[in-house]
């Protein structure tokens, strides 16, 4: 019953949100949630205009009763390059030399949020949005899997976020969200790792599997002195059910839990028209074994799917964001932002991360809003560019120095939205 409910729920969200399987920019988390936040490259923990969709829940009480939705077009460009011929020695696992680019380069990413202002001091907010995900679709047998003509993974993660916020005095507030997480996953072209799996029948090519889980988010927002706002939020780990059809791939028999994260930010209103935002964000990827366990240990490779099985080897990420908001042109609001965070993949982990080359570090953002009438209805737009980045490392399953693996990616993102 629980498994059927999980599948029904996740499938329903997938149909509602459409195709959101793609890389996001902070590892596999979205850099920003909603059109306004995306225009700042995800900055805005202390800026209540960014709180409606996936932001700091404490900010919603400062917003009016409103409906906001957006739809984005995401273009991640991923590739890997193998340099050096395989040794063909017994006990090694060489890869075919050359450069291979991933297919599936365009994804639609919608979001929606509704804020109900209950009174001057209380608000209730419901939002639905994609958290991010992983997607690669290489048109080749990357790992010599003769049962599939393509190699790759397809992970989608989404949230239903129900938040309550209330004021503490005139310009301070707290907020709390109940989070329902839903995700789907499919892998193909990995059957050649069968001898390294605790259950080779649940490793690759089993179609799409689903899981769901719950967590929470808490936040604070307040004006400390004239024009200077402070914001902070913490999101717990989302305790997801296991992907049972891929119990031989992910650690702990198929678990892929969503890591905890937190952010702290300021918003300084330098003038009535100009605001500067600055945030620090931390994503605790090491709280999820499937994400953070290394592929190889000192004693070799732990079996895929085992309690401490091999994973992607990701490190925690600390991301720094800055944003600018200008309202001095009649009915227009102009936005810009920049984000930097050292990518989470060590050079020693590049082989498995051919499937998940989340190596971007620097992101540039632009955005605007145009008021459409006196009621405050607005058209919103955002553009993000994640600069190209590459990580190189050895093939750990070849003799030392035999093969080098480069994984590489850049991203373009456009989003249009409306606020009513």
pLDDT for 3 equals 55
Ranges 26-30, 215-219, 261-265: which has the least confidence: 26-30
Residue percentage of the chain with pLDDT more than 90: 88
Tell me, yes or no, if the pTM score tops 0.75. yes
Better-scored residue on pLDDT, 169 or 268 = 268
Could you tell me the residue range of the domain that residue 220 belongs to?
2-419
Domain CATH code at residue 154: 2.40.160.60
Q: How many CB atoms lie within 10 A of CB 321?
A: 28
pLDDT for 235 equals 98
Give Cα 154 to chain centroid, integer Å: 13
Residue 300 pLDDT > 90, yes or no? no
DSSP for 223-248, written as a single string: EEETTEEEEEEEE--BEEPP-GGGTT
pLDDT for 4 equals 52
pLDDT 10s digits, 318-337: 999 999 999 999 999 999 99
pLDDT 10s digits, 121-172: 999 999 999 887 889 999 999 999 999 999 999 999 999 999 999 999 999 9
pLDDT 10s digits, 373-412: 988 899 999 999 999 999 999 999 999 999 999 999 999 9
pLDDT for 19 equals 47
Name the residue with tokens 């680019």: 101
Residues 6+ apart with CB under 8 A from 102: 77, 78, 79, 135, 136, 137, 138, 152
Average of per-residue pLDDT across 102-129: 95
**And the tokens for 43?**
């900055």
Residues paired with 138 in a beta bridge = 151
Average pLDDT value over all residues in the chain: 93
Residue 246 pLDDT > 90, yes or no? yes
Report yes or no: 382 and 367 within 8 Å, Cβ to Cβ.
Answer: yes
Task: Using only the alpha carbons of the chain, give its radius of gyration.
Answer: 22
Domains contained in the chain, number: 1
């Amino acid at each position: 019953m629980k498994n059927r409910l999980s599948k029904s729920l996740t499938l329903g969200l997938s149909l509602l949100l459409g195709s959101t399987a793609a890389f996001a920019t902070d590892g596999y988390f979205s850099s920003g949630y909603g059109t306004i936040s995306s225009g700042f490259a995800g900055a805005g923990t202390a800026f209540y205009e960014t709180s409606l969709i996936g932001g700091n829940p404490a900010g919603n009480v400062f917003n009016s009763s409103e409906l906001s939705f957006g739809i984005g077009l995401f273009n991640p460009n991923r590739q890997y390059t193998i340099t050096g011929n395989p040794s063909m020695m017994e006990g090694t696992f060489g890869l075919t030399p050359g450069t291979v680019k991933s297919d599936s380069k365009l994804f639609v990413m919608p979001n929606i949020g509704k804020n109900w202002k209950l009174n001057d001091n209380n608000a209730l907010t419901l939002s639905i949005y994609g958290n991010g995900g992983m997607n690669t679709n290489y048109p080749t047998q990357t790992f010599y899997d003769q049962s599939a003509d393509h190699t790759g993974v397809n992970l989608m993660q989404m949230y239903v976020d129900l938040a309550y916020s209330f004021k503490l005095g005139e310009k301070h507030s707290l907020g709390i969200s109940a989070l329902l997480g839903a995700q789907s996953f499919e892998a193909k072209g990995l059957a050649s790792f069968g001898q390294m799996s605790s259950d080779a029948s649940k490793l690759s090519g089993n179609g799409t599997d689903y899981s769901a889980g719950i967590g929470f988010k808490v936040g604070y927002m307040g004006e400390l002195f004239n024009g200077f706002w402070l914001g902070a939020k913490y999101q717990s780990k989302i305790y997801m059910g296991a992907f049972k059809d891929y119990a031989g791939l992910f650690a702990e028999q198929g678990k892929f839990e969503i890591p905890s994260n937190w952010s702290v930010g300021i918003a300084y209103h330098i003038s009535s028209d100009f605001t500067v935002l600055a945030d620090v964000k931390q994503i605790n990827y090491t709280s999820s074994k499937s994400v953070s366990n290394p592929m190889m240990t000192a004693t070799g490779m732990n079996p895929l799917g085992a309690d401490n099985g091999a994973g992607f080897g990701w490190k925690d990420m600390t991301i720094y964001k800055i944003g600018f908001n200008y309202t001095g042109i009649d009915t227009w609001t102009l936005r810009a932002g920049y984000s930097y965070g050292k990518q989470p993949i060590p050079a020693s982990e590049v082989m498995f991360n051919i499937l998940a080359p989340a190596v971007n570090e620097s992101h540039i953002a632009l955005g605007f809003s145009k008021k459409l009438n006196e009621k405050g209805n607005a058209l919103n737009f955002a553009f993000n560019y994640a600069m190209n980045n590459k990580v190189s490392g050895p093939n750990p399953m070849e003799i030392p120095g035999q093969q080098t693996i480069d994984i590489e990616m850049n991203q373009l993102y456009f989003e249009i939205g409306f606020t009513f």
